[in-house]
Structure 1
């Protein structure tokens, strides 16, 4: 979706921009120039796998997620703001982060925040469901409105990955959609590494073992989704716990292990079936690679989940000649 205030009637610009942001990104109050004729906004919004990407250039603007808006029914998410040019400030949880070009800052949609852009906006914004980061809310709360400097090598690597995703979503090459969808996950993993690296010395090592057990379990399962012997007994043994403790640990997080593994495997198959680079691989081979040894069972499960057969999904996303 593209936003261009120049093609809107001046009297309608503020409300039109607000409506697009509310429906596609997040519900916030936006304070523009007093004179609607001076409102300048140009941007692109798209979904890249689990990421929602919003790249915006605009003149001076203040953006507020108020206490009432923070209580809406939106999925709890984390925003990453990547400064492109100019400077801006993120305020949340009693902290302030002033960003310069190349810097990153995080803020959480479940609590109020304010973004000050007195010299205008030129940023890439990435919205990520908190569940995708596999980090506890207590940990994520410690890094909101904290500046991640471009001088930090890991922050610079994360910013480079996110910047390239944003650049390509705004100017997509033919048949690049599915490779971009796949690129969203490495971007999230880099962000997760950046957060844990920042907190490791102060917090992660002192966090009680049981509070992060479910995160370690999910990380282990993700790394072994293709293993056909990925059984509850094997997962429990790897973490030196009983199967009962395994189930109880995940249940407290609202996770059914078998359902979670099935969905994760289906998502990997779905991504690979849509990828042009995997067109030479048979559906059965892709299914086996991600832990579905029975091709017929995989096809039935895929159709029940996505309302399309694997072959129909692949055909729908096949690259044009």
Structure 2
């Protein structure tokens, strides 16, 4: 079960202190300064255990989190937070860096060091928090990378992945495969920071170790693109096609067949959605990267033993 704070359940006079106490648990000790402490202070926070990391979601009225050098000296466990702004822009100051982070973009914060983070108005963010000890990188590489994450070629991939985690963490952590997803998420963070932090030999090792994870995430983020080919995947990861196939083969993965399988699973799920009931099978097939509806239908029947329309009707009958 997650740790949850929802100030809607509290009298207004208790909300400021409750948010402060919750923040100490959810993130790092810091001064919590509300934009309008005498106004409509509201907040909802959730912290979900996620393998050796956690997912932290936070929506609230305007807030500032100020971690001073004195507070930083009291904390022994270094943690990096990778946070995607979900509503109003965020402002961050750390290591002589000042930045405004737009909605949908990523910021990385070394929670063990001093920082000043804030937003105005009704804001929200979704965050993946990972201990330095899980990253297999020197501390100086990690700390240098936190101010340079946008320099990494994996920036957009990791940003989209964390945004997806924060969208519905309850569903993700309830899935039987959550352990694999959590491990893959930490691998993506390792790759991002190694790339952005110019880790030299450490970076090369991490990038080699995380290639298959990055390929899997890249494919899942581009399943709807009919031009998703092994050649494009290899180019996106700066490796040869031969090396890509070698890495997949060592993991027992047939790349082309796995892509088709992922697309079929996505289409099969969408066929059941109430909001998709007016979409034709051909339209759903195209949405999942199949150019030819006949080819999709043949593949679907071979995989699931029935035609897409039969699957849709049988599932609808079961619900009625």
Q: TM-score, normalised by structure 1?
A: 0.58
Once the two structures are superposed, the pairs formed by residues 269-280 of structure 1 within 5 Å of their partners are none
Q: Which residue of 2 aligns with 1:184?
A: 182
Shift of 1:182: 2.8
Q: Provide, for residues 81-128 of structure 1, a one-character-per-residue CA deviation record: whole Å limited to 9, x for no partner.
A: 111222111110001222112211111122100102123421112211
Contact 2:47 2:56 (8 Å CA) reproduced? yes
Alignment: residue pair count:
210
Q: Give the counterpart of 1:93 among 68, 92, 95.
A: 95
In structure 1, runs of 5+ residues without a counterpart are 224-321
**d(CA) in 2 for partners of 1:95, 1:35:** 27
1:165 corresponds to 2:165: yes
Alpha carbons of structure 1 residues 146 and 11: separation in structure 2 relative to 1, 3 Å: farther
Once the two structures are superposed, the pairs formed by residues 44-59 of structure 1 within 5 Å of their partners are 44-59=46-61
Once the two structures are superposed, the pairs formed by residues 115-154 of structure 1 within 5 Å of their partners are 115-146=117-148, 148=150, 154=154
Alpha carbons of structure 1 residues 68 and 162: separation in structure 2 relative to 1, 3 Å: same
Alpha carbons of structure 1 residues 36 and 75: separation in structure 2 relative to 1, 3 Å: same
SS in structure 2 opposite 1:38?
coil
SS in structure 2 opposite 1:86?
coil
SS in structure 2 opposite 1:16?
helix
1:204 corresponds to 2:199: yes
Q: Provide, for residues 147-201 of structure 1, a one-character-per-residue CA deviation record: whole Å limited to 9, x for no partner.
A: 638xx862221122222222232x427x8254223312211211222222234xx
Alpha carbons of structure 1 residues 198 and 147: separation in structure 2 relative to 1, 3 Å: closer
Q: Which residue of 2 aligns with 1:42?
A: 44
Shift of 1:37: 4.6
SS in structure 2 opposite 1:53?
strand
Q: Provide, for residues 232-276 of structure 1, a one-character-per-residue CA deviation record: whole Å limited to 9, x for no partner.
A: xxxxxxxxxxxxxxxxxxxxxxxxxxxxxxxxxxxxxxxxxxxxx
Alpha carbons of structure 1 residues 198 and 76: separation in structure 2 relative to 1, 3 Å: closer
SS in structure 1 opposite 2:69?
coil
Shift of 1:67: 1.5
**d(CA) in 2 for partners of 1:35, 1:104:** 27
Once the two structures are superposed, the pairs formed by residues 235-274 of structure 1 within 5 Å of their partners are none
**d(CA) in 2 for partners of 1:89, 1:9:** 29
Q: Which residue of 2 aligns with 1:22?
A: 24
SS in structure 1 opposite 2:154?
helix
Q: Provide, for residues 196-218 of structure 1, a one-character-per-residue CA deviation record: whole Å limited to 9, x for no partner.
A: 2234xxx434xxx6xx49x959x
**d(CA) in 1 for partners of 2:34, 2:180:** 36
Alpha carbons of structure 1 residues 14 and 145: separation in structure 2 relative to 1, 3 Å: farther
SS in structure 2 opposite 1:204?
coil
Alpha carbons of structure 1 residues 181 and 20: separation in structure 2 relative to 1, 3 Å: farther
SS in structure 2 opposite 1:105?
strand
**d(CA) in 2 for partners of 1:177, 1:26:** 28
Q: Which range is displaced more, 95-104 or 190-199? A: 190-199
Q: Which residue of 1 aligns with 2:12?
A: 10
Q: Which residue of 1 aligns with 2:67?
A: 65
**d(CA) in 1 for partners of 2:35, 2:119:** 12
Q: TM-score, normalised by structure 2?
A: 0.58
RMSD, aligned CA? 3.1
Alpha carbons of structure 1 residues 4 and 73: separation in structure 2 relative to 1, 3 Å: same
Alpha carbons of structure 1 residues 143 and 216: separation in structure 2 relative to 1, 3 Å: closer
In structure 2, runs of 5+ residues without a counterpart are 213-320
Q: Give the counterpart of 1:108 among 107, 110, 122.
A: 110
